[in-house]
Structure 1
Amino acid sequence: MLGIAAAVLFFVAFLINAAEITTNHAFSSGNVMLLGLTLLALHVAGIGSGWAGPRRRR
């Protein structure tokens, strides 16, 4: 789930950069890209990959 959110943020950063849209400093393409990298790192670390539920021991 976090990987999809990261891909969406990368696409938004690309659109901001390619269209040369002027935004305030909080939503610049670099900051949006860093948010995407943070989400991608969390996804690779295994956070947000889904709920595993309780496991039974035999």
Structure 2
Amino acid sequence: MLGIAAAVLFFIAFLINAADITTNDVFSSVNVMLLGLTLLALHVAGIGAGRPARRR
């Protein structure tokens, strides 16, 4: 789930950068990209992957 959210944030950062949209400092393309990288790192670490598989 966090991987999908990261992909959405990367796409938004790409659109902000490609369209050369002027935003305030909070929603700049670099900040959105860094949020996406944080979510991607959490996804790779295994956080937010859903329920863990039960061991028998």
Structure 2 matches for 1:39-50, cutoff 5 A? 39-50=39-50
Listed one character per residue, the Cα deviations across residues 11-57 of structure 1 (whole Å, up to 9, x for unaligned) are 0000000000000000000000000000000000000000127x465
Structure of greater Rg = 1
Structure 2, unaligned runs of 5 or more: none
TM-score using structure 1 length: 0.89
**CA–CA distance in structure 1, aligned partners of residues 55 and 36 of structure 2:** 36
Identity %: 84
Which 4+ residue blocks in structure 1 deviate beyond 2 angstroms?
none
Using the alignment, how far apart are the partners of 2:4 and 2:36 within structure 1? 10
Q: What is the CA–CA distance in structure 2 between the aligned matches of 1:42 and 1:22, rounded to whole Å?
A: 29
Q: Where does structure 1 lack aligned partners over 5 or more consecutive residues? A: none
